[in-house]
Structure 1
């Protein structure tokens, strides 16, 4: 028999339905509202079966033990560091492992942003993917705990907005992780992006990056473009431009020196590349920033 709640040491908060209705008619919380949140440690025999889905988006982070989620005819194992995001109205069932029951942090969220972010995370299509490995489980757990603590405090606007902010941040990060196409720590595309970020002053070819990632050049290029929305050359160019903008704002270095610092030996070529991205020359960018920062009468 499955148990919904009542576990030793559990924490649980559920907003009353009238308060939910009020919050969904108010600014901010109508876009993202945490209606339920909890922490179930070592939740033996825990599980739910929702043939019609839930009224809200369900988010479950496993931080210990194991369990499984069944949705659209597929079974997804849940282990520490794995998060499940189940869109509103999606039929599903989940349960803790009978021999090694999971410990979970969870929340239910509703509102327009909740639905949009859930869709971005799960990709509701032929490759529907309701679970993913969290890159920073500690941050994910902290966000869920923040939402729960806010509801535990009271049901004022301030507390509901605080919970909404934590929920939005977590879902946005999960959507970003999914958009990058990285499903686990140590993903080779993330490693390649980090390598480019740390080596702005050198030019690294696609073949060299593919070798670092352990992929063929064609496979690497396709995965990089899918994760970044652009090719390697354009991605590196934009990283260099971002660093150049920082140096133009925070230092007195010449344009030529800044160009060399981000990998351009030719100052004129650097200026052309900078203008193509920023719509102005490096010196024009610096002057415009200083003008905006100068006190006006």
Structure 2
């Protein structure tokens, strides 16, 4: 994929880079950001755009003009960045924070493409935010411990994409962004603390978000345990105590729930839905679906759409 070069002299909004599966991008309307810029509950710090790119192979951006502050947090894979004053890698667990007015470029690794949360933001307190976090032009990168604890607020912010953009939703987005930034110093390792320390347990909402973001993949027990920072045995035991089921069964049930929504609301075939959920074998997907829901996918769809062909046996599946 070709590199996207953004040259706008007045705005530095996100590119229209094609979204990978499971990704999202929210760009607030210009009229709304103008309101947030003067509203007493938002004008100190507010987002103009935010999103989540999953396994973003080929993602690379270069900006000569930059009017927003930019935050990029890598939670999987790796990439690299370069500014007028600094350059380096950005790996899982690291955050990049760039001030406005600085030309920059960044790119995902071809071998280990990154998954990132990101936000463009503005406000009277944006510069003070940089000072608060100890970020400088020469050192724009932070390493975070136990960052998974932030995911409930990140999820709330991303879920605003499903709401009509209003002043109230914009103020809520500003409040969530400020809350996220305010928590970062607590997650920065102190002197003598490992830069790669992992939490000694797991946070179920964070795991659910990780699973939801990766419904299009085939995750192993080791993948989930690594996210939680635990051994596979310890993680599986703690997960079962918390939920009453195994991690992989929980993950597959989330896939089936999403498959139900696709069957209810789209015209995608069962094969297409299976592929979208990371199943190369549609027959295996159908068996898993029937084991969870009690009926095969086609019969499930016909039960919600009576005009569909219901002449087949409920257990039959193509």
**TM-score for both structures, normalised by structure 1:** 0.56
Show structure 2 runs of 5+ residues with no match.
5-14, 199-318
Q: Distance in 1 between matches of 2:194 and 2:124?
A: 25
Task: Report Cα offsets for 1:92-130 as digits up to 9, x if no partner.
Answer: 1100001211111111111122321123325436xx311
Show structure 1 runs of 5+ residues with no match.
188-297
Contact 1:121 1:130 in 2 (8 A): no
SS of the residue corresponding to residue 19 of structure 2 reads: coil
**Bigger-Rg structure (1/2):** 1
SS of the residue corresponding to residue 38 of structure 2 reads: coil
Aligned to 1:45: 58
Which consecutive segments of 4 or more residues in structure 1 shift more than 6 A? none
Contact 2:145 2:188 in 1 (8 A): no
Match of 2:100 among 74, 88, 98: 88
After TM superposition, the structure 1 = structure 2 runs for residues 4-43 of structure 1, keeping only pairs within 5 Å, are 4=15, 5-9=17-21, 10-43=23-56
SS of the residue corresponding to residue 135 of structure 1 reads: coil
Q: Distance in 1 between matches of 2:83 and 2:64?
A: 10
Aligned to 2:173: 163
Match of 1:140 among 140, 147, 150: 150
Q: Distance in 1 between matches of 2:133 and 2:103?
A: 17
Q: CA deviation at 1:26?
A: 1.0
Q: 1:159 to 1:58 in 2, by over 3 A?
A: same
After TM superposition, the structure 1 = structure 2 runs for residues 37-186 of structure 1, keeping only pairs within 5 Å, are 37-52=50-65, 54-124=66-136, 128-175=138-185, 184-186=195-197
Q: Distance in 2 between matches of 1:183 and 1:111?
A: 33
Q: CA deviation at 1:140?
A: 3.4
Task: Report Cα offsets for 1:32-52 as digits up to 9, x if no partner.
Answer: 211101111111111111123
Contact 2:146 2:187 in 1 (8 A): no
Q: Distance in 1 between matches of 2:104 and 2:151?
A: 23
Contact 1:68 1:96 in 2 (8 A): yes
Q: 1:176 to 1:57 in 2, by over 3 A?
A: farther
Q: Distance in 1 between matches of 2:43 and 2:161?
A: 16
Q: Distance in 1 between matches of 2:33 and 2:103?
A: 22
Aligned to 1:197: none
Q: Distance in 2 between matches of 1:80 and 1:169?
A: 22
Q: Distance in 2 between matches of 1:6 and 1:114?
A: 29
What is the RMSD of the two structures over their aligned residues, measured on CA atoms? Answer: 2.5
Q: Distance in 2 between matches of 1:180 and 1:112?
A: 29
